[in-house]
Structure 1
Amino acid sequence: MTPKRNIKKVAVLGSGVMGSRIACHFANTGLEVLLLDIVPQDAGTDRKSRNNLVDTALANALRSNPSPIYLKSFAGRISTGNFEDDLHRINTCDWIIEVVVERLDIKKQLFEQTEQFRKPGTLITSNTSGIPIHLMAEGRSEDFRKHFCGTHFFNPPRYLKLLEIIPTKDTAPEVIDFLMHFGEQNLGKTTVLAKDTPAFIGNRIGVFSIMSILHYVEQHDISIDEVDKLTGTIIGHPKSATFRTNDIVGLDTMALVANGLKQNVPQDEENELFTLPPFISEMISRKWLGAKSGQGFYRKEKGTSGSNYYSLNLRTLEYEPTPKVKFPVLDTVKNIDDMPGRLKVLFADKGKAGDFYRHIFFRLFAYASNRIPEIADELYKIDAAVNAGFGWEMGPFEKWDALGVAPTLTLMEQMGIKAAPWVYEMLDNGAHSFYKIEHGKKLYYDIPSRAYKIIPGTEAFILLDNIRDTQTIWKNSGVTILDLGDGILNLEMHTKMNTIGGEVLEGINKAVTLAEQSYRGLVISNEGANFSAGANVGMIFMLAIEQEFDELSMVVKAFQNTMMRLRYSSVPVIAAPHQMALGGGCEICLHADKVVAHSELYMGLVEFGVGLIPGGGGTKEFALRLSDELQEGDIELNNFRQRFLTIGQAKVSTSAYEAFELGYLKKGRDTVVMSRNRLLAEAKKECLKMADAGYVQPAPRKDIRVLGSQALGLAYVGANTMFSGHYISEHDVKISQKLAYVLAGGDLSQPGLVSEDYLLQLEREAFISLCAERKTLERIQSILKGGKVLRN
C-alpha cells in the first residue's frame, strides 16, 4: 500500500517572473515555501548581497498588480536563499519545482546538484513550457526519475487555472494521481494530464488559434480592433481578446513559442501556420513588444485632457486613433445570454463577422481533432486546457457541439477543411455530440471504446449546468431554484451580472419558503462570471428621478425584509460566493448562517461610490458585528473607525482572505475553498452538517450595543478634516455623516442597546434621504452610463 503523501513545504528553484509568482501561490494555500536563485555575479560575502537577486524578484512580485498573493501577511510563509549557500535546505521539502531559464543544459546541471540534497521520495518537477520533460531526467537516479514530471503553470499562476501534468515513461502512477488531485483541490487548478509533446496541450492549441488569426488579418481586410471586438466576451473569451492579450503576454514570448512549434512539429499538417507574419517580425525588430515596452498592437499616450488610445494599422505599421467598431450581428446577439445560442447566430452571419468566425474556428476544430491522439488521448483534455489556460468559456469541441457536429462538418468540407477520421466514425457510430449530460454528470465521447464516459476527477463536483434541466423545481426571470438532493435547495441568480431586483427578491423569498416547508437547508450559489454585482441601481435611479420616494421606501424595505428572512429562517442558509460579491450581493453573504467562499472573492459594500450607504441591511449588520467585538475604552472607537472606513472608502477585498480582514467574512465561522468546481459541493456539505447538528432558528437581536454621540463626533470631525484637506467632497461629507449616524445608532447621549429593527429603520431613512440628493443621482447616472465613479 502506497503511504499517504503530505505536502507541507515546497522549494521553488528560480525566482523569475514565473518562479516568484508560483512561490506566492503555494504560500496562498498555507504551505511553507523556500525560494532559491543564483548568487549575483558582483555579490560580496554578506548574506544580503548574495540573496539580492531572489529578494528583489520576490519584492517585485509582491508589488505587482494584480497581486500574486491573497494577503500580504502570507508572504511571511516564503523564505529566500541562493543555490550556493542554501540548496541543502531542500532536504526538508516535500516538493521541489524547478523554474529556471529555458535551457536544457542549465536545468540538467541544477537537477544534478539537487539530487545531492533531495531526500528520497520527494516530488521533483519542472515548469518548463518548451523543453521535452524526458530529456531533463536523463542521467538521474531511479528514485529521482520515478518522482519526476512536468508541472506547467500558466502565468499569472494565481489567476490562470491551467496546470498541465506531464509525466515521463518512468514517472510512478501514484505520483501522477497525487499531483492531479493536489493541483485541483489544494491549488485550485484545472489539472490536465498531457503528453510530452512540444508546447503540451494548452499552448499547442492556443498558439495555433492566435497564429491563425494573425495570418487571417494579414490576408483579409480586417483591423485589429475589429478582431478584438469579435474575439472577446461576445464569444466567451477574455475581455482582452486577441491583440490586447498578445500585448499583455508580450510579442517576443508569443514568437518564441510559435518559432519553437515551427521547428519541433515538422509533421504537423498546419506547420506553415507557425511562421511569423512579416509585421510581427518587424514589430519585434522595432521592440514594439506590447505592455512591457509601452507599445505593441496598441499604444496609450497621456494628453492634456486625459489618455489617448491608438491601435496599429498592420498595413502601414502606423498608430491611428482607436476607432469605434460596429458589426450588425453583434447588436443582434447582445441580448442572447445563452452562449450556444449566441454562437449559432454569430456563425450563421452572412457578413464580415460570420466569414471571420467560420474561417478561424472551423480550421481550429479540424486542427484540434487531428491532435488526438498526438497530444492527448481524450478530447475533453483539449477543451479543459484551452479554457483554463486562455480563459475561454467554451473550448473547440464544446463550441463545435454548440453549432452541431454534423452540420458544421458539412460546412467545413464545403470550405475545404477536413476533420480527423475519428469524427466521421463517431457520427457513423450514432454518436452526435462530443459531450452529453447524464444523471447530473458531464460525459465525453471516448474514441477507443466508442462510448461515453464520465470526465475523470469530476465525480465529486456539483455543477448547476449539469442538473438544471432535471432538478429545477421553480424559476422566474431572475432566479432558478434547484433540488441538490439530500434535502438541500440551491438558489441560482441569472440576471445580468446577477444584479438584484424584484424578481431576485421574489426568488429568495420563495426559496426560503420552500426550504422551510419541505427541505433541510438552502444554498445560494451560481455559475455566472460573478456571484452578484449588487442591487439594480437602474431601478433605484428611475424611482428616485421620478421622486417616487414612498415606492422606493417599499423597495428598500422589501430588500431588508428579504435579508432578514435569510438571517432568521428555520433552516440553515449557506452563501457560496465567487468573484464579485458587491453591495447587495455582499449583504446576502452577511446575512447567511455561513459563507463558503471561493478564494478569488472580491467582496465589498460599495454603495458610497454611487452616493449612498448600504441599504439592504449591510450598514445594520456592520453595526451588529461591531457590537459583538466591542471592548471598553478607546478600543471601541478604534473598532468603530475601522468599520466606518471600510464602508466609507468602499473597500473591496482582493481575495476571500482579505474579506476576513475587512470584516465581510467571520473568522471561525466562514471557510474558503480553493477549487471553484468544488465550491457548491462544499457548501452543500456544510449545509447538511448544520442541519444534522440540529439547526436552531436564531432569535432576532435586541442587544446591539451602539456608541451614539461619541462615535458620531469622531466621524464628523474626521469627515470635516478630510474635506478641509480637499481629500473628499462636500457631498462625501454628507454621505459620511449619514453612514456614521446609522452605525452609531443615532445621536444617543451615551452608549446603549438597540434592536435590529431600529437600525434597519435608520438605515432605510438615510438611504432614501440620499436618493433625494441631486449629487447622488449624478453619481448613479455616471455608473449607469459609463461605469465610472463620479466624485462630485
Structure 2
Amino acid sequence: MANFIVRKVAVLGAGVMGAQIAAHCVNAKVPVVLFDLPGQEGQKNGIVLRAVDNLKKLNPAPLGNNDHAAYIEAANYEDHLERLKECDLIIEAIAERMDWKHDLYKKVAPHIAPHAIFASNTSGLSITALSQGFDAELKARFCGVHFFNPPRYMHLVELIPTAATQPEMLDRLEAFLATTLGKGVVRAFDTPNFIANRVGMFSMLATIHEAEKSGLSYDVVDDLTGTKLGRAKSGTFRTADVVGLDTMGHVIKTMRDTLPGDPFAALYQTPLALAKLVEAGMLGQKSGAGFYKKVGKDILRLDAEKMDYVSGGGKADDFLVRVLKEKDPAKRMKALHDSSNPQAQFLWAILRNLFHYSAVHLEAIADNARDVDFAMRWGFGWNQGPFETWQAAGWQQIEQWIRDDIEAGKALSNAALPDWVFTGPVAENKGVHTGAGSWSPSRKTFVPRSDLPVYQRQAFRAPLVGEDPRKASCATVFEDESVRIWHQNDEVLILSFRTKMHTIGPGVIDGLNKAIDEAERNYKGLVIWHEDAAQGGAFSAGADLQAMLPLFMSGGVEALEPMISNLQNVHQRMKYAQVPVIAAVAGLALGGGCELLMHASRRVASMESYIGLVEVGVGLVPAGGGLKEIALRAAADAKGNDIFQFLKSYYMNAATAVVSKSALDAQKMGYLSDKDVIVFNPYELLHVAKVEARAMFDAGYRPPMQTLTPVEGRSGTATIMAQLVNMRDGGFISQHDYLLGTLIAEIACGGDVEPGSLVNEQWLLDLERRAFMQLLKNPKTQERIMGLLQTGKPVRN
C-alpha cells in the first residue's frame, strides 16, 4: 500500500468540534488551515481567530501545549479557498444541516486537490446523501469521519464509507487516524447516527424512560449508571448536560425522522423534561443549567414536575452498591434480575433494553458485534460494550430472561430476538466473541480483526470479553508478585510491574536490577512497559508507601534508609546501563514514577501522560534522583550561562507538585526532552519503544559519561528562600511547606557550597537522601503520609 502522507489538513468550520479537531491535528504536528465564514466586521478571519484563542481556555484542554495554537492557520471561504489545494485531508465540521453542507461543498469542491481525501464529521447525517452532486472521482474520495467530543480524549473515530468510496483510500485514512492521531477506528454502515450515537442515544432514552417509570431522581440515576455500572462518571443526565440538551434533541430528531419503521420507534420522542429545558434555553453545561445547575459550591438537580431546582446528592441504595461490587458478572446480573428492589429492577430493565436493541439492530448498523462494543467503549467511555456485558454474564441465561420479558410485555418493543442469538454458532459458543473473531449476522460467521498493516504496530490490541487478541508469542524470563520480565523473541527485553498503580517497593527495585542484568547479558535493550498501558493505567504512581510501613514499624525511620539507597542505585544503574533502557510511559508518572523515567536512556510517552514530582504532597522531597536530575538538566540547559534562570521553573514544578497536562506539556516542563518520542495511540507504545531500543543499540549506543556539574550553591538557595519567606508570611504556604521548599532548594542548588562549584551525582543523591530521612522523622510529614494512606487525599498542614 502506497504511503498516504498528510502534509496539511483543512478543517471547514471553527465551531466546537471543528476547532478541537484542528487542535488535535496540531498536537500531532500536522499543520492545519481552519476555515469559517468571513467576519462581517473587524478582521475577516475573526471567527477563526476567536475560536483558536478559545482553545487555550477550554478544560479539558484540547491542546497538549497552548503554544501550538500558533500552528493553526486562520482562513475564510471568501479569500482562501485556493489554500485547499495544499491539503491532503479536508474535514468538514459545520452544523448538522444537509442544505448548509451542500452549499459549502459546491464552494469547496473545485479547489480540492485530485489526490486529497474529503470527509464529513457529521454525527448522523447520511454520507451517501451528503455526496449527492459530486462527480464520480470526488465521490470515490469522500467518506464520513466522525470524531467524538472532546476529540483529543475520546478514542473513537467512526469511519463511514458510501458504496462509491474507494476501499484503498479508506484503508489509508484509517492508518492515519490510528497512528498519527491515535484513534480507535470503527467502520460503521451509513445508517442514521451510525453506531455509537445510535446505540448510545437509545440507551439514554431508555434510561430516561425507565427512570420516569421507576420514579427515580436524576442524581440517583446518575449514581447508578456512572462508574458503579462501569460507565463514564457523569452517568446519564449529567452526560446529557455536557453534550448539550439541544444537541441531544437534534440526535433524537434524526432518529425520529429517519427511522419510522424501527420496532423501537415509540421511544424516539424528545422526553418532556428535555423539551421544556430546551424551550427555556437551559441547554446544560454551556448555558449554566440543564438537568443540573451549579449554585455556588452546590450542585442542584431539576425537579421535573415543578421545573425548579432542588438539593441534589441522591445516591444508590447500599444493597445496589454491594451488588455492583460483585466481581462475578453472572452473579451480579442474577441479583439485579431477581431482586424486587426498585433500583435493581431499574438497572435490569436498562440493561435488558440495551441487549435487546443491540441484538435486533446489529445486522443493520455494523459488520460485527466487535464494532458495536468498541464504539460504545471508545465513544461513550463504557468499560464493556453491550455484547461483552451480555456474554460475560452468561449468554444463554440472559437471552432467556430477555425472551421472558418480551413475552410478558415488559420490554420496550415486542420485536423478537434474531434467530442467531439462540441458534447456530453463537449459541454453541455461548456468545458473539471468540478466539476466531466476532459474530457478523450478515456474513453468518465469526469475523477476525482487521489485518491492515497499521495494526501490526499493536502487539496487544484492545481486549474483548470472550476472545484472546494476544497473538504475539511471549516468553517469560522471570516473574513474581512484583514484576514480570519477558520478551517477544525480538532481541528486546521487557519489564512490567504488577504492583497496584505500579508503585515502586523493594520487589520492583529487585526486578529492575534483575532486568538490567539480563538485558546487558543477552539483549539489545530493555523496555519498561506495563500491560494495562493502553487501558488508562499508570506508568507508576511512585513509591509504595504501604510497603514502607512494616519496615518503619519494626525498625523505625533508620530502617528505611537502605531502601532509599537501593532506589537511588537502581536509577543510576538504569542511567548508565550498557544497553539502552526505554521508559514506555502512559498515564500517571508521579513522584518515584517520574524519577524512574527521568533516569531512562530515552522515553517513549503516550500523549496522555501526566508527569510530575509530587512528593511534597506527603511532606517529603524527591529522593530517587529527581532533584539531582533537575540540577543536571538546569546546568546543561544553561550551557555556561546563568544556571538559576533555568533552574527556577524546574524548582517551582517540584516545590508546588505541578503535574503535566500531557506529554507535550511534560516536554515544556523539562521532564521529557525534545529527543523523546510522543506516541498518540497508546496501543502502539510498546512497538515504538522496542524500535527505539533496537535503533539506539544498532547505532552503537554507549551510556553517557559521568562528569562534574556546576551548581548554584548557597546563593541560589538564598534567593529562593527569600521568596519562600514572603509566601509563608503572606499565608500562602504553611510552615511545613516552607521547610519542604527550603530543602528542595538546597538540594537543587547543590547544598552549602560556593556558586559555580562542581559536584558529582553522588553528592546530590546524598543531599536528597539526608533530607528525605530528616523529613521522615518530622511529625508533620508523618501526618501527611498517614492521612494519605487512610483517606487517599493529601493533608494540608
Give me the TM-score of the superposition, normalised by structure 2. 0.90
Q: Root-mean-square deviation (CA), in Å?
A: 2.8
1:421 aligns with 2:426: no
Instruction: Quickly say closer, same or farther: Cα 1:568–1:426, change in 2 above 3 A.
Output: farther
> Who is 1:648 aligned against?
655
- How far the C-alpha of 1:249 sits from its partner, in A, is 1.2
Question: Aligned to 1:142, which of 136, 141, 145?
Answer: 136
Map of 1:16 onto structure 2: 15
| Per-residue deviation, residues 467-507 of structure 1 (Å, max 9, x unmatched) | 49975554444444443332333333344433333443344
Distance 1:233 1:537, change over 3 A: farther
Query: Is it true that 1:31 corresponds to 2:30 in the alignment?
Result: yes
| In 2: Cα distance, 1:223 partner to 1:771 partner | 48
Where structure 2 has 5 or more consecutive residues not aligned to the other structure, the ranges are: 464-468
Aligned to 2:616: 608
User: Unaligned regions of 5+ residues in structure 1, if any?
Assistant: none
Q: Using a 3 Å threshold, how does the CA distance of structure 1 residues 92 and 556 change in structure 2: closer, same or farther?
A: same
Are the counterparts in 2 of residues 574 and 596 from structure 1 also a CA contact under 8 Å? yes
The correspondence for 1:92, drawn from 68, 86, 89, is 86
Task: Specify the alignment match of 2:384 in structure 1.
Answer: 394
- 1:452–1:148 distance in 2 versus 1, CA, 3 Å: closer
Where in structure 2 are the equivalents of 1:487-526 lying within 5 Å? 487-516=491-520, 518-526=522-530
Aligned to 2:397: 407
CA contact (8 A) 2:576 2:704 kept: yes
Q: Tell me which of 649, 661, 686 is aligned to 1:680.
A: 686
Q: 1:437 to 1:585 in 2, by over 3 A?
A: farther
Give the corresponding residue for 2:299.
Answer: 309
1:218 and 1:277 in contact (8 A); partners too: no
What corresponds to 1:483 in structure 2? 487
**CA 1:495–1:383 in 2, change beyond 3 Å: closer, same or farther?**
same
Q: How does 1:42-81 map to 2 (within 5 A)?
A: 43=41, 48-81=42-75
Deviates further, 647-656 or 293-302: 293-302
Q: Using the TM superposition, give the Cα deviation of residue 265 of structure 1 relative to its aligned residue in structure 2, in angstroms.
A: 1.1
Change (3 A) 1:621 1:333: farther
Q: 1:119-198 alignment to 2 at 5 Å?
A: 119-198=113-192
| Pairing 1:246–2:221 present | no
CA distance in 2, matches of 1:558, 1:103: 64
Q: Given the alignment, which residue of 327, 331, 345 partners 1:355?
A: 345
1:671 maps to which residue?
677
User: Counterparts of 1:344 and 1:429 in 2: how far apart (Å)?
Assistant: 17
Change (3 A) 1:471 1:172: same
Aligned partner (choices 626, 637, 644) of residue 644 of structure 2? 637
Secondary structure at the counterpart of residue 228 of structure 1: helix
| Equivalences for residues 182-581 of structure 1 within 5 A | 182-302=176-296, 307-314=297-304, 317=307, 318-328=309-319, 330-331=321-322, 334=325, 341-349=327-335, 350-351=338-339, 352=341, 354-416=344-406, 418-427=416-425, 430-437=428-435, 443-447=437-441, 448=443, 450-451=445-446, 453-457=448-452, 458-463=455-460, 466-467=469-470, 471-472=475-476, 474-516=478-520, 518-526=522-530, 527=532, 528-529=535-536, 530-538=538-546, 548-581=556-589
1:727 aligns with 2:732: yes
Identity %: 36
Counterpart CA distance in 1 for 2:446 and 2:93 is: 40
Alpha-carbon displacement from aligned partner over 1:313-336 (angstroms, at most 9, x marks no partner): 5565542241454434534765x7
Task: Output the CA distance in 2 between the equivalents of 1:158 and 1:422.
Answer: 38
Residue 583 (structure 1) aligns with: 591
Structure-2 change in CA distance of 1:601 and 1:192 (3 Å): same
Task: Give the direction of change, closer, same or farther, for the CA distance of 1:481–1:225 in structure 2 (3 Å limit).
Answer: farther
Distance 1:345 1:503 in 2: 35
Structure 1 residues 324 and 216: CA distance shift in structure 2, 3 A: closer
Structure 1 residues 450 and 139: CA distance shift in structure 2, 3 A: closer
Question: 1:213 aligns to what SS in structure 2?
Answer: helix
Cα–Cα, structure 1 residues 607 and 437, in superposed 2: closer, same or farther, change >3 Å? farther
Q: Which amino acid aligns with 2:141?
A: H
State the AA in 1 paired with 2:137.
Answer: D
Deviations 1:654-683 (A, max 9, x none): 111121111111222x11111111111111
Distance 1:354 1:536 in 2: 38
Q: Distance in 1 between matches of 2:541 and 2:8?
A: 38
Deviation at 1:207, TM superposition (A): 0.9
Q: Any idea what the Cα deviations from partners look like across 1:257-315, whole Å, max 9, x if unmatched? A: 1222122112222222222333333333344432122233333222xxxx223334556
Q: How many pairs are equivalent?
A: 770
**How far, CA to CA, are the matches of 1:325 and 1:169 in structure 2?**
48
**CA 1:697 to 1:680, structure 2 compared with 1: closer, same or farther past 3 Å?**
same
Offset at residue 757 of structure 1 (A): 2.5
Shift in CA distance, 509/327, structure 1 to aligned 2, threshold 3 Å = farther
Contact 1:250–1:290 (Cα < 8 Å) also in 2? yes
2:754 is aligned to 749
The 3 A distance-change label for structure 1 pair 326 and 555 is farther
Deviation digits for residues 734-779 of structure 1, max 9, x if unmatched?
1111001111221013433333222222111111222333333344
Give the aligned residue type for 2:109. E
Secondary structure of the residue aligned to 1:364 is helix
1:253–1:723 distance in 2 versus 1, CA, 3 Å: same
Q: 1:763 aligns with which of 759, 768, 792?
A: 768
Distance 1:3 1:519, change over 3 A: closer
**1:540-568 alpha-carbon deviations (Å, 9 max, x no partner):** 57877999211232333333233334334
Q: SS of the counterpart of 1:15?
A: coil
CA distance in 1, matches of 2:557, 2:747: 20
**SS at 1:577's partner residue?**
strand
Q: Residue type of the partner of 1:369?
A: A
1:689 aligns with 2:685: no
The Cα offsets for residues 666-721 of structure 1, whole Å up to 9 and x where unpaired, read as 222x111111111111112222333444554666x352332322222222223223
- 1:703 — aligned with what? 708
Deviation, 1:390, is: 0.8
* TM-aligned CA deviation for residue 78 of structure 1: 1.0
Contact 2:420/2:426 (<8 A) preserved: no
Contact 1:571 1:695 in 2 (8 A): yes
* Cα shift at 1:639: 1.4
Q: Summarize the Cα distance change of 1:471–1:357 in structure 2 as closer, same or farther, 3 Å threshold.
A: farther
Instruction: Find the counterpart in structure 1 of residue 4 from structure 2.
Output: 5
- Aligned residue in 1 for 2:466: none
Offset of residue 38 of structure 1: 1.2
Identify which range, 471-480 or 523-532, moves more after superposition.
471-480
Cα distance change, pair 34–693 in 1 and its aligned pair in 2 (3 A): closer
Structure 1 residues 109 and 288: alpha-carbon distance in aligned structure 2, compared to 1, 3 A threshold: closer
Q: Post-superposition shift, 1:393?
A: 2.3
Q: 1:209 to 1:74 in 2, by over 3 A?
A: same
- Which amino acid in the other structure matches residue 567 of structure 2? F
Q: Secondary structure at the match of 1:373?
A: helix
Checking the alignment, whether the CA contact within 8 Å between 1:640 and 1:711 is kept in structure 2 is: no
Q: Which moved more, 1:202-211 or 1:717-726?
A: 717-726
Q: Distance in 1 between matches of 2:427 and 2:233?
A: 39
In 2, distance between residues paired with 1:790 and 1:600? 27
Using a 3 Å threshold, how does the CA distance of structure 1 residues 325 and 550 change in structure 2: closer, same or farther? farther
Is the contact between residue 541 and residue 781 of structure 1 (CA under 8 Å) also seen in structure 2?
Answer: no
Select between 480-489 and 582-591 the one with higher mean Cα deviation: 480-489
CA distance in 2, matches of 1:437, 1:490: 25
Candidates 618, 624, 633, aligned match of 1:625: 633
Which residue of structure 2 lines up, in the alignment, with residue 592 of structure 1?
600
